[in-house]
Amino acid sequence: MEYNDYREKIGLIKQGTLSLTSNVEGFLSRIEKEKHLNAFNFVFKDAVERASEIENKILEGKAGKAAGLVVAVKDNISIKNKPLSCSSKILENFQPVYTATAVQKLLDEDAIIIGKTNCDEFAMGSSNENSAFGPVLNPYDNSRVPGGSSGGSAVAVAANLCDVALGSDTGGSIRQPAAFCGVYGLKPTYGRVSRYGLTAFASSFDTIGPFAKNLNDLTLLLNIISGYDEKDSTSQKSGEINLTENVSKSTIKIGLPKEYFGEGLNPEIKTRIEEIINRLPSDNFEIIDISLPHTEYAIATYYILTTAEASSNLARYDGVRYGFRSKDSATLKDMYENTRTEGFGKEVKRRIMLGTYVLSSGYYDAYYRKAQKARRLFKEDFINAFKQADILLTPTTPTTAFKIGEKSTDPLEMYLSDIYTTSANLAGIPALNIPVGFDANGLPIGMQLMAPELKEPELLNAAYLINKFL
């Protein structure tokens, strides 16, 4: 599809050079052709009818800010009267009765939703292998994972099955798959985007965020979905982001946290990122070495707190209220037990057990309370770092995309693939993946930028400027 970004697309539609209906038909036939990637759980064929309505609105000059933008939505985000599975058997045949605020805002601006994307079950995973719909394949090498949990959304964008996509990020689930698939992916500040309609995994970490092929589309999508929502008491007001604003007026101080460049980082990723840092001109950028001293505790803290929250959030799936119910149970208690035994996958059960354990009265102080205290230390690490630097620059992942099956038998090994991403969720700050090239096997390499809370304008403008030196 012959345009570089949405701005160009809408221009072509207005000129009459591009038909929105055939654009959407084109995406639908590509989805069909690339079916083996398994990026979508559900595809909405009625997107074509909506395209023709919106095309008329565009030509009449009455269309919204995202008119004709074709969006794929992670299947843990609600759309009224469409299936919502969270890639879990326990939500079999479930359809929500309301639409997530982020999706509603897109619909109000005349975007077109093309389908729901595959993900790890309840967004728990780093490889998209924990899905009742089967694994998603990396478009660069079909024997490799796309990352997770928002693997389907990353692949939908990377394989050009849509313009942009929504994902969710609790500990890296937007940035890590974006890195593995060579696209842009942003985890916004906690609360910048309403969580209303996002299926809760770990409520104090969960965020909805955008995937895109370029920064313009990413910014457009973020601007539309952001904002205070009375249906989410943790949501916050935020201003409009303008990408050309403020670029290169003063030097940007880039902090390099030493803990992110040590042992475990693939040398090719390290070399590529160092090469980029060396290319940044000194009249625009000042490079500063900094430290985030508690980094080594991030994964442990993250898994204590998120499993605790998950064990509580997932108590609602009991066979009574949603989707799947086990047949032939003698008593109510059996029905609960059988439904959860048959309905949840292995990783989800592991997390419910871990979470129940860390919250149990005998262990609460030793694990849960301790981890809450540790969380404060991560926040302080970042507060101190941002006294010295405007933006932090790190790798997004320690390796490029790994093989399907390579880590699925070793949960700890799998958890370590989020070593550079979980800290931003612990601290609630925004973080962006930028695709910065390929390794010797032709697999995408990702670089991460982080900024203080609600400083997405500075974050995206720094990315915009850095892009010129890639």
- Annotated catalytic residues are 74, 149, 173
390 binding ligand GLN? (CB under 6 A): no
Window 391-430: contact mask with ligand GLN (x via CB under 6 A):
---------------------------x------------
What is the CB-side half-sphere exposure of residue 92 using CA atoms within 13 A? 15
Q: How far is the CB of 17 from ligand GLN (least distance, A)?
A: 40
Shortest Cβ distance from residue 172 to ligand GLN (Å)?
5
Report the distance separating Cα 183 and Cα 160, nearest Å: 11
Quick check: 169 binds ligand GLN (CB under 6 A)?
yes
To ligand GLN, the closest distance from the beta carbon of 60 in angstroms equals 41
* Shortest distance (Å) from residue 314 CB to ligand GLN: 13
For ligand GLN, the binding residue among 135, 172, 323, 395 (CB under 6 A) is: 172
Stretch that binds ligand GLN, among 9-17, 123-131, 283-291, 395-403 (CB under 6 A): 123-131
- Cβ at position 469, least distance to ligand GLN in Å: 29
- Angle among Cα 330, 335, 340 to the nearest 5 degrees reads 150
237 burial (CB, 10 Å; 0-12 / 13-18 / 19+) is exposed
Q: How far is the CB of 164 from ligand GLN (least distance, A)?
A: 19
Return phi, psi of residue 434, to 5°: -115, 130
Six-digit token pair at 54? 């919106």
Of 78, 85, 170, 313, the one binding ligand GLN by CB under 6 A: 170
Q: Where are the alpha helices (DSSP H) in 67-150?
A: 101-108
Q: Of 87, 118, 153, 173, which one interacts with ligand GLN (CB under 6 A)? A: 173
Answer for which of 38, 104, 118, 126 binds ligand GLN (CB under 6 A) is 126
Q: By Cβ distance, which residue is nearest to ligand GLN?
A: 173
Q: What are the structure tokens assigned to 23, written together?
A: 């654009």
- Using CB under 6 A as the binding rule, the residues of this chain from 300 to 319 that contact ligand GLN are 306
Helix and strand element counts for the chain (H, E): 15, 11
Interaction between residue 21 and ligand GLN (CB under 6 A): no
Tokens of 466: 């850095």
- By CB under 6 A, residue 152 contacts ligand GLN: no
Question: By C-beta, is 9 or 192 nearer to ligand GLN?
Answer: 192
At 228 the three-state DSSP class reads: coil
Instruction: Identify which of 124, 241, 126 has the alpha carbon closest to the alpha carbon of residue 177.
Output: 126
Tell me if 223 contacts ligand GLN by CB under 6 A: no
Long-range own/partner contacts, residues 60-67 (CB < 8 A, 24 or more apart): 63/110, 64/108, 64/109, 64/110, 64/111, 65/109, 65/110, 65/220, 65/224, 66/6, 66/106, 66/109, 66/110, 66/111, 66/220, 66/221, 66/224, 67/10, 67/109, 67/110, 67/111
Binds ligand GLN (CB under 6 A): choice among 124, 154, 156, 358 = 124
Residue 125 or 428: which CB sits closer to ligand GLN?
A: 125
Amino acid letter, residue 148? G
Instruction: Give one DSSP letter per residue of 159-175, joined into a string.
Output: TTSSSEEEEEESSSTTH
User: Which stretches of the chain bind ligand GLN, using CB under 6 A?
Assistant: 123-126, 149, 168-173, 201, 306, 418
